[in-house]
Amino acid sequence: MSKKKVAVVGYGGMGGWHVRNILASNVAELAGIWDISEQRRERAAEKELHVYTSLEDVLSDKSVDIITIATPNDHHMSIAIQAMEAGKNVICEKPVCMNSSELEKIIEASERTGKLFTVHQNRRWDCDYLMMKQVYASGELGEVFGVESRIQGSRGIPGDWRGHKEYGGGMILDWGVHLIDQMLRIVYDKKVEKLYCRCDHITNYEVDDGFKLDLYFEGDVTARIEVGTSHFVSMPRFYMTGTNGSAIINNWTENCRIVCCKNWDEKDVVPVVTAAGLTKTMAPRDEKTISESEIVRPTSDVHDFYRNVCKAVDGIEPQLVTHAQVMRVMKIMEAAFESDRLGQVIEIEDHLV
Ligand code: NAD
């Protein structure tokens, strides 16, 4: 398979990341970059990258197989549709676009032109997520009834376009899109029946600078997804609990710790003594009734995303991040905004994809 030529549109933080990864790739090579900012174009030229003179210049370059879009979110739809109509395959940064009606137009363009369109859900390669996915699928915890996924920072929402609605700012679209996508793949066998979301506006009134989203899956599984930008001590990255045990991942770098029950009946519970009295119900268990184990962080290479896209362009593999999966996440984000606006639980029609 020959290397695919990729042009990157939008050479900011994430565009730079794509450029570095494409330059190091064994499946793709860089055709060049385009950015509306002269300063960003000069920066690329200083690094001796090929700099296109306009979007049209990129689109008319017959050697380009794939366009990677890394602009702010409000430009994704227009660039994606123009690119596919010019015969290019498209990798689009997350969130795919601003809403589901924009996404319908993108999917229609992909089907009409026969060009591949996919979204850079790169956090499907995060080790913490992969460990949680493994624990759920293993059944080791018995019937899982709770999953929690949290990202908490302390610097507020970035002061760039992410702070403004018109560009697609806010934490649901920024981090929520990753955490929802991950959660739907962890609880891979259940549909979401309803959800409830509350947004934070601690440092920004225009967009959400954090949120708490509860997804109620069929079979009484509840997932809490929480993003915060005003937390000076963080809660664990992931927590999962079931009828037979619990699993925890404290941060981005640790292994997954699993504690399972090996003997439900415990005769000699030592009560916890508090100022207000004794409790046996909440007393910790000892090693006679529980067993502890760890999942070691798996090896993971995020460039497998590009490897898959290059093979999918040649029809050798199906694309990993599909239109239906991206639409499912978008519908959940829309329902989350609606729940926050109404202050109500929202019932949704979800499908396993
Ligand atoms: P950024 O502000 O650093 O960069 C955006 C760049 O796009 C800027 O250089 C800007 O001049 C340029 N631009 C704006 N409109 C353009 C247009 N019409 N045509 C060409 N260039 C244009 O933003 P960023 O942090 O790089 O985010 C870009 C995208 O990447 C967003 O969609 C964001 O959500 C996504 N992102 C994804 C991840 C991830 O982990 N997948 C991480 C960060 C950002």
Of the residues 35, 59, 71, 82, which should be mutated to test ligand 1's pocket, given the most ligand atoms within 8 Å of the CB?
71
Confidence of residue 347 (pLDDT cuts 50, 70, 90): very high
Q: How far is the CA of 13 from the centre of ligand 1 (A)?
A: 7
Q: How far is the CA of 163 from the centre of ligand 1 (A)?
A: 14
Q: How far is the CA of 70 from the centre of ligand 1 (A)?
A: 4
Confidence of residue 324 (pLDDT cuts 50, 70, 90): very high
Q: Look up the pTM and report it.
A: 0.97
Give residue ranges with CB within 6 A of ligand 1.
9-15, 34-37, 40, 70-73, 75, 93-94, 120, 122, 160-161, 174
Residue of the CA atom closest to atom 34 of ligand 1: 94
pLDDT exceeds cutoff 90 at 26: yes
> If DSSP states are collapsed to H, E and C, what string results for the chain?
CCCEEEEEECCCHHHHHHHHHHHCCCCEEEEEEECCCHHHHHHHHHCCCCECCCHHHHHCCCCCCEEEECCCHHHHHHHHHHHHHCCCEEEECCCCCCCHHHHHHHHHHHHHHCCCEEECCHHHHCHHHHHHHHHHHHCCCCCEEEEEEEEECCCCCCCCHHHCHHHCCCHHHHHHHHHHHHHHHHCCCCCEEEEEEEEECCCCCCCCCEEEEEEEECCCEEEEEEEECCCCCCCCCEEEEECCEEEEECCCCCCEEEEEECCCCCCCCCCEEECCEEECCCCCCCCCCEEEEEECCCCCCCCHHHHHHHHHHCCCCCCCCCHHHHHHHHHHHHHHHHHHHHCCCEECCCCCC
Q: How far is the CA of 35 from the centre of ligand 1 (A)?
A: 10
Q: What is the pLDDT of residues 33-85, one digit of tens each?
A: 999 999 999 999 999 999 999 999 999 999 999 999 999 999 999 999 999 99
